Structure 1
């Protein structure tokens, strides 16, 4: 994965042209007795952001159920850790000595960690950690928000309030997208490219964050289109998962008014949740 692709994985936000500037959408009609709400999250944004988004808090508080992409399952943590490892392999084996030193120097400078700590982990783990480090250093606005990451906040607060919490995927499924989609050889090559291309990708994290905070679906769509033209299709991260989720969401929303919080990338586009819900007969409008 390139740095922008990794950032999109972390953010999962990419809307469609022609949509209103909103991250919160009301879903009604098609037999629903009460409306549900669809909200596009930014996975690394902290929950104090909601102080500036009272309509989102209102929709969340009114819902009887909450849907998130996944919930933290302590019993799956060991399996996740094992999935991230490369038995019999290492970064030192996958990278040439010059490339290893290039990555090690950059990794230490950006994250504060020695690359040796990640030597036995799949390269995508190192690349993701490095990309998050770039985003945190580059995006001043992210540091202004405090609390829990948005998705975790919604799941935790929903349980506290006695709301039904439904994950759309298991942790194992989500980690499979990250760790197993590309062979480790390609992951290693992309890790080196991530460091080599950092000057060309500078400013992308800030730009993407600004678009999100403005609710600029049009701008995010255009950025996503440019990314796909340059780096390839993201259907395995977005379109295929949207189709799977659409097999679950109508039944969930029919049972109770639901607040659906998923990465904003999943909301729009011809195969985004907004379009798919409308195609299924629902009225979906910006709030």
Structure 2
């Protein structure tokens, strides 16, 4: 689910929503078997925790900061603590620069076919009960059924990741990456993107229709549960438990979605491979190249979604393979 939130945060396109979200932490509701599965997965994951790490190789210094792309009042304290890192960085990398983001938004406005299907509608390819569930969930987020029927499945997947209680524009106005990018620009630092902004957009638009449908079906469940999943996600983020957050999102989706669990696993594997692992493998070379000539007083700063840090193919493990020493720092 967190990968869906990431894409949604890039697009900043959506209907209206209202009120503030509440929601409850779902971890206490886990059964013993689920709790043990979650703990085993975390124990097997390298660098499972920590939102701020420093990688050093001789004088080369890289600060890696795990971000969240959705705004939260508690982020202000973290921005204050991390600002000195950004203000002294020789270069600050983000998943997308603000200029790239504006270009991407313009592409979606100028080319509606990126979001709208012209050859088929969703009611034609879904059974009636599933379509009714989807239409109701979308309507609670401000989309009437006639619009929902024509949206590409991957876009609806992104939209359903946002609970109806949340105002999209307000939520995306100040995620940690946006706030730290503002710090970098104000300090006159060099700001660069880790990749071309078309990379992720092309992945979803070019994904086979059946894979898009699998992602969509995995995202259809009670909107109240979406609010609880959001609350859980924020708690895990501020506890710096990004590996637990990823695995729990998979577990809760399998428990609640209108989709076969094996197909949910397959959808998660596809997204994990492309949205995390393959991108990390490309990014790490860019980061290591930029680190040449960096120093503790003029480090490279990398601000990316926290899910990119952990795992055997996470940025931390990939840098360790290249001879960097890793140290967790206060977040």
Q: TM-score, normalised by structure 2?
A: 0.69
Say if 1:47 and 1:153, in contact at 8 Å, map to a contact too: no
- Per-residue CA deviations over 1:144-177 (Å, capped at 9, x if unaligned) read x895222223334322322111101222112123
Q: Equivalent residue of 1:262, what SS?
A: strand
Higher relative contact order (CA 8 A, sep 6+): 1
Say if 2:63 and 2:300, in contact at 8 Å, map to a contact too: yes
Say if 1:26 and 1:38, in contact at 8 Å, map to a contact too: yes
Residue in 2 aligned with 1:86? 117
Distance of aligned partners of 1:60 and 1:75 in 2 relative to their CA distance in 1, 3 Å threshold: closer
Residue in 2 aligned with 1:42? 68
Residue in 2 aligned with 1:285? 327
Distance of aligned partners of 1:166 and 1:202 in 2 relative to their CA distance in 1, 3 Å threshold: closer
Query: Structure 2: where are the runs of 5+ without partners?
Result: 10-40, 255-261
Residue in 2 aligned with 1:112? 142
CA displacement at 1:97 relative to structure 2: 4.5
Residue in 1 aligned with 2:36? none
Report matched runs for 1:203-282 at 5 Å. Answer: 203-217=228-242, 219-220=244-245, 223=248, 231-232=265-266, 233=269, 234-256=272-294, 257-282=299-324
CA displacement at 1:52 relative to structure 2: 4.2
> Does residue 27 in structure 1 map to residue 64 in structure 2?
no
Distance of aligned partners of 1:150 and 1:116 in 2 relative to their CA distance in 1, 3 Å threshold: farther
Q: TM-score, normalised by structure 1?
A: 0.78
Q: Equivalent residue of 1:67, what SS?
A: strand
Residue in 1 aligned with 2:194? 168
Q: Equivalent residue of 1:194, what SS?
A: coil
Partner Cα separation in structure 1 for residue 2 and residue 84 of structure 2: 33
Say if 2:161 and 2:226, in contact at 8 Å, map to a contact too: no
Partner Cα separation in structure 2 for residue 53 and residue 153 of structure 1: 7
> Does residue 65 in structure 1 map to residue 102 in structure 2?
no
Query: Structure 1: where are the runs of 5+ without partners?
Result: 138-142
1:126 to 153, 156, 159: 156
Residue in 2 aligned with 1:140? none
- Per-residue CA deviations over 1:254-276 (Å, capped at 9, x if unaligned) read 25422100011111111111111
Distance of aligned partners of 1:218 and 1:48 in 2 relative to their CA distance in 1, 3 Å threshold: closer
Distance of aligned partners of 1:207 and 1:28 in 2 relative to their CA distance in 1, 3 Å threshold: same
Distance of aligned partners of 1:239 and 1:193 in 2 relative to their CA distance in 1, 3 Å threshold: closer
CA displacement at 1:211 relative to structure 2: 1.1
Superposed CA RMSD in Å reads 3.5
Q: Equivalent residue of 2:231, what SS?
A: helix
- Per-residue CA deviations over 1:179-217 (Å, capped at 9, x if unaligned) read 333x23443354345325768777333222211111124
Partner Cα separation in structure 1 for residue 117 and residue 250 of structure 2: 33
Distance of aligned partners of 1:259 and 1:267 in 2 relative to their CA distance in 1, 3 Å threshold: same
Partner Cα separation in structure 2 for residue 220 and residue 121 of structure 1: 28
Q: Equivalent residue of 2:275, what SS?
A: coil
Distance of aligned partners of 1:66 and 1:84 in 2 relative to their CA distance in 1, 3 Å threshold: same
